[in-house]
Chain A
Amino acid sequence: MNEVELTKCHELARKVRIHCLKMVHKGKSGHIGSMLSMADILPVLYTLILNVDPKNVKKLDRDRFILSKGHGGAALLATLAELGFFPLEWLDEYYCDNGKLSGHISHHIPGVEFSTGSLGHGLPVACGMAMAAKQMGKKHRVFCLCSDGDLNEGSTWEAIMLAAQHHWDNLTMLVDYNRLQALGKSRDIIDLESLKQKLEIFGWAAREENGHDQKTIYESLRDLPLCDNKPSAVIFRTVKGKGVSFMENDYRWHYGGLTDELLAQALKEVEEAI
């Protein structure tokens, strides 16, 4: 990753954050904390890691990316719009009557591989795609981005066990590990620690990285699989609400809405951030 690419990813992350804040404010919706927590990951993924083409969104050899934490979908939508998968103006039609964009991610939007919204659905489907790719002799890779809440779901662990059983090394699970969920700290609800050790014991190759350092994000995803014959897990330690001081690490911003004043303050912080 050179300096130009890094600057580009920084700027894209800033734009994604600004879009998300405006979308959530305009739509009077929630989940802003979850969006901001993965806002540094998606730009790296979409500009430097995934083989995708905004001009040919259904090309057969594209890497498949499933956002299992569909509630944070606005961050993916903003990323896709900025990269030209669909017009930026569509972002104005988020979470509103007759709008193009729903609060949870939908495959009816160009560039969105799979619809999610209820947690625990992404990884099983990603497993199916990985299995099919292996059987069909295809070289594309399958990625699934999960949340803390996703890892509460039994279906996610069913998929974790199956992927290891079948050595699907074309499958990578990313975890937006902000350690907060809807009603509080994950450690007080379902403690996932040590997630890395758990996944390794379950037969995955896993590493844990800073999910807001884009150079690190790139380097952790550059050489996949992490280990031949094992599915890969990259656990990104993140901060819920990252980039907005009054939201950071406060679970209330899982659902919280933005007033005009709070929007202005949040935008100022994001726009002025170095």
Chain B
Amino acid sequence: MRKAFNKELLSIAKRDPRVFMILADIGYGEIEEFAETFPDRFINCGVAEQNMTGVACGVAMEGNIAITYSIANFPTLRCLEQIRNDVCYHNANVKIVIIGGGMAYGELGISHHSTEDIAIMRALPNMVVLAPCDKAETVALTDAMMEYDGPVYFRCGYKGEPDLHDGPINAKIGGSAQLRDGQAVTVFFAGTVGVNAKQAVDELATEGIDCRLVSLYSIKPIDKAAIIRAATETKGIVVLEEHNICGGVGSAVAEVLMDEGVGNVPFKRLAMPDVNATKVGCQAWMREQYGLGVNDVKKAVKSLLK
């Protein structure tokens, strides 16, 4: 997915001279072409994320589009106050892109996991929060992000993620993508953990349980209509996310259900159980360990249908 993002960004930067890339010494093997093609629109601030974010804000204040880009938590939590005070308060056209959302860097340990990012980023006024699940969503949402004038948090995957969509899609800020329709339970997800949701829904179908499967790639603003439809047209809602259970996509869906008066639907969140991930392993294994596996989704769906 990071390759898809960088390729699309490069293609946009070739058309749009306002695009700058502001880094903090991360991006090896991916950002070199941008740096070589646009040396005067590229800067490596060194390992200094606060400065990276401030510089990006200053660049954007001059009418440009500034991309900050790093892995996992580095361009969000380390420089949160710069994002809040500088980027969001000034509604600056800064795009904060992370590579390796969730536990993509599983074996590297908790310093390299981004599992609180969605809650924190969506709490910031003016911030749009996007989380593509595969290459098709990455490309479509990169386009949507770059057309949008304002701060965006873009939670990208890492590498080798399977395609969940059959081909290119259209995506918009505030939208969602239905991958499968069904009347049993709606399974919502955001981001690359959708691979488990899709496999679970496919397997449930073979058992005669037809679920609706929806990628909530735009977490803020969120597709309220899709959530209301799920509550009124299907028998329950499961939300799967690779994030702490506090404040993430599941919370966002629950907020809509209650606010819109459709909260009487059976509902289950599958998320990290508010613990620090002390186990060591790859992303797929870590997902299983923390309740985000295929069987967890299947079990949750069946429990709602009882």
A residues near B (Cβ < 8 Å) are 107, 114-118, 120-121, 123-136, 138, 154-155, 158-159, 161-162, 166
B86 at the interface (CB under 8 A from A): yes
Q: Which of A128, A132, A134, A158 contacts B46 (CB 8 A)?
A: A158
Say whether chain B's binding surface is mostly helix, strand, loop, or mixed: helix
B70 at the interface (CB under 8 A from A): no
- Give the nearest-CB partner of B79 in chain A: A155
Residues of B within 8 A of A121 (CB): 54, 81-82, 85-86
Residues of A within 8 A of B55 (CB): 124-125, 127-128, 131, 159, 162
On whether the beta carbons of B54 and A117 are closer than 8 Å, the reply is: no
Inter-chain CA distance A231–B119, complex, in Å, is 39
On whether the beta carbons of B40 and A125 are closer than 8 Å, the reply is: no
B residues near A (Cβ < 8 Å) are 20, 22, 40-41, 43, 45-46, 48, 50-51, 53-64, 66, 81-82, 85-86, 89-90
On whether the beta carbons of B46 and A161 are closer than 8 Å, the reply is: yes
On whether the beta carbons of A118 and B64 are closer than 8 Å, the reply is: no
Residues of B within 8 A of A161 (CB): 46, 48
- Give the nearest-CB partner of B41 in chain A: A135
Inter-chain CA distance A118–B90, complex, in Å, is 14
On whether the beta carbons of A162 and B46 are closer than 8 Å, the reply is: yes
Inter-chain CA distance A128–B20, complex, in Å, is 11
Known: A124-B51, A124-B82. A131 touches B46 (CB 8 A): no
Residues of A within 8 A of B41 (CB): 135
Residues of A within 8 A of B54 (CB): 121, 123-125, 127-128, 155, 159
- A-B residue pairs, 3 tightest by C-beta: A128-B58, A124-B54, A158-B51
Residues of A within 8 A of B53 (CB): 124
Inter-chain CA distance A120–B53, complex, in Å, is 12
On whether the beta carbons of A118 and B81 are closer than 8 Å, the reply is: yes
Residues of A within 8 A of B89 (CB): 115
Say whether chain A's binding surface is mostly helix, strand, loop, or mixed: helix
- Give the nearest-CB partner of A106 in chain B: B89
Inter-chain CA distance A133–B20, complex, in Å, is 13
Inter-chain CA distance A138–B60, complex, in Å, is 15
Q: Which of A117, A118, A123, A128 contacts B59 (CB 8 A)?
A: A128
Instruction: Identify the interface centre among A129, A132, A134: most chain B CB within 10 Å of its CB.
Output: A132
A154-B50, A162-B48 known, 17 other contacts, Cβ within 8 Å: A114-B61, A114-B90, A115-B85, A121-B81, A125-B58, A127-B51, A128-B22, A128-B55, A130-B58, A131-B43, A131-B58, A132-B20, A132-B59, A155-B54, A158-B50, A159-B55, A162-B51
In whole Å, how far is B151's beta carbon from the nearest beta carbon of chain A?
A: 14
Inter-chain CA distance A166–B61, complex, in Å, is 19
Residues of A within 8 A of B63 (CB): 132
Residues of B within 8 A of A124 (CB): 50-51, 53-55, 57-58, 82, 86
Residues of B within 8 A of A166 (CB): 43
Residues of A within 8 A of B60 (CB): 128
On whether the beta carbons of B85 and A118 are closer than 8 Å, the reply is: yes
A and B contact pairs by CB, cutoff 8 A, 7 listed: A121-B54, A124-B51, A124-B86, A125-B54, A128-B58, A136-B62, A162-B45
Q: Which of A107, A155, A158, A162 contacts B90 (CB 8 A)?
A: A107
On whether the beta carbons of B58 and A126 are closer than 8 Å, the reply is: yes
Inter-chain CA distance A123–B54, complex, in Å, is 8
Inter-chain CA distance A119–B273, complex, in Å, is 36
Inter-chain CA distance A158–B48, complex, in Å, is 6
Known: A125-B54, A127-B54. A158 touches B62 (CB 8 A): no
On whether the beta carbons of B50 and A129 are closer than 8 Å, the reply is: no
Residues of B within 8 A of A115 (CB): 85, 89-90
Residues of B within 8 A of A128 (CB): 22, 54-62, 66
Inter-chain CA distance A138–B63, complex, in Å, is 13
Inter-chain CA distance A132–B57, complex, in Å, is 11
Inter-chain CA distance A113–B48, complex, in Å, is 24
- Give the nearest-CB partner of B51 in chain A: A158
Known: A124-B53, A127-B51, A166-B43. A155 touches B62 (CB 8 A): no
Inter-chain CA distance A123–B45, complex, in Å, is 13
Inter-chain CA distance A125–B55, complex, in Å, is 5
Inter-chain CA distance A212–B82, complex, in Å, is 32
Residues of B within 8 A of A117 (CB): 85
Instruction: Identify the interface centre among B55, B66, B85, B89: most chain A CB within 10 Å of its CB.
Output: B55
Inter-chain CA distance A117–B46, complex, in Å, is 25
